[in-house]
Structure 1
């Protein structure tokens, strides 16, 4: 069932409201946790998961040196000792770079310089990340600084206070303003689903973000628990599918936070394949926001080639 979304004052926002069957979404999402993948396909999915990852450092103690270190890892995800061991394996394919690194606006120029010519994107959080609690003018300055520094992707957070107060038009207008400020940079809109309360709200926030111009919709900042969950991700994927069916436009998706092992990443990729299809099985339309995920995926890659695990000290600790 769909009904027009109204602001608290009764004015129309122009977005249809879709009711979500929470029980059905949970059952459907749970189905993917039971899926098995043939060994021949598993290695391909692990490589794809690496190519879809965004490595992130968003701490108050971040330094240019730390950003440069993360950029090196983004370009060469496997540590030298692990790479050397894998190169001795018959049929080994080089480990690909990840999709992007994500940093605060102040550190964007350092990431741009470190990644020059690599093909790895530079993303930056903006709009008073992670709370979004600042004036729109201040949040737009944040965006302009990141774009001027060279970021080609902007991760914005929606104003959850306005959303939960029913001020949907305000949320829509703010996303649209940020999209305009991005210029040629791609906009990923973070819903912070752990604060939205219901799957109905997740669906509505997804539809608002897409209608306002998001290139990607993203679950979480990684600062709130719960972050990405299978039911939430499924609802967001369905919003993208419905939009594509209406318009033909492809919107990207990024589950972020809480995806920590290779098995989970493969489950999410199965969900993506069966909900949106093979056209979305690309870093241009799907990302994992889970820096903690990379080492476990690399462990599984080594196991797929050799039948055993590489020793733990062979992986990056950052």
Structure 2
């Protein structure tokens, strides 16, 4: 049986906020997709491209996904739309948002007392307007009970993949990621400001190498091995790598491992021993020391702080 997803748009919505998740749900072949708006009819996006929307559906539905975009500030002042969102938790079994769409959910009171995320550029505004929400601005997406929120723009695809994995299983989500030619998966604990991005310098000389390390964290990555990958002598590689990224090769590998392990810890029931091995630490004690060194807290603290779904 297909699950219905209603994608809510408004004047000035961001096209990719809506189109990315729509493409993911379409590829999953287990969803009935509808684009809706408060009044129905053509809705102009911030790019100038218009989408034809249906009106608000009657009866109970499965999933609501609220787009973000430049028009979100005006949308939060639309009393009819905010009133609709206040009733959303009763009408839809699951409510989600992409990018700054979380501001609309917050305006409707759906995020009160909950953990959520939003586009990084909206962090100050969000915290000022909605202090009752536990904002985690670095997160790619957050799942707190029936509410799902994601960070900016393309993070909506990550959100959709996570929902597909939740509904249909990880194999289905992985197949969708392969069809869309995107990574499966950037887990929800990953920062919008990822370790990989922070180490990519202006010249991007080591982008392929860092991507290789990230995809093969369980392998050994010493200076000699990484230098060989980069076709450089170990001495020249170590100097050039530090100049380009700001990190020694060892520190860069450690940061990538900690980021991956931090994300994996949010998976319910995941074995700490297995995470330590798969992320290349070898054992939980080495992983604990790296977490304290880079994050200031042990893995156990982050696991306890993760939302219980």
Q: Based on CA coordinates, which of the two structures has the bigger radius of gyration?
A: 2
Q: Could you state the TM-score of these two structures normalised by the residue count of structure 1?
A: 0.29
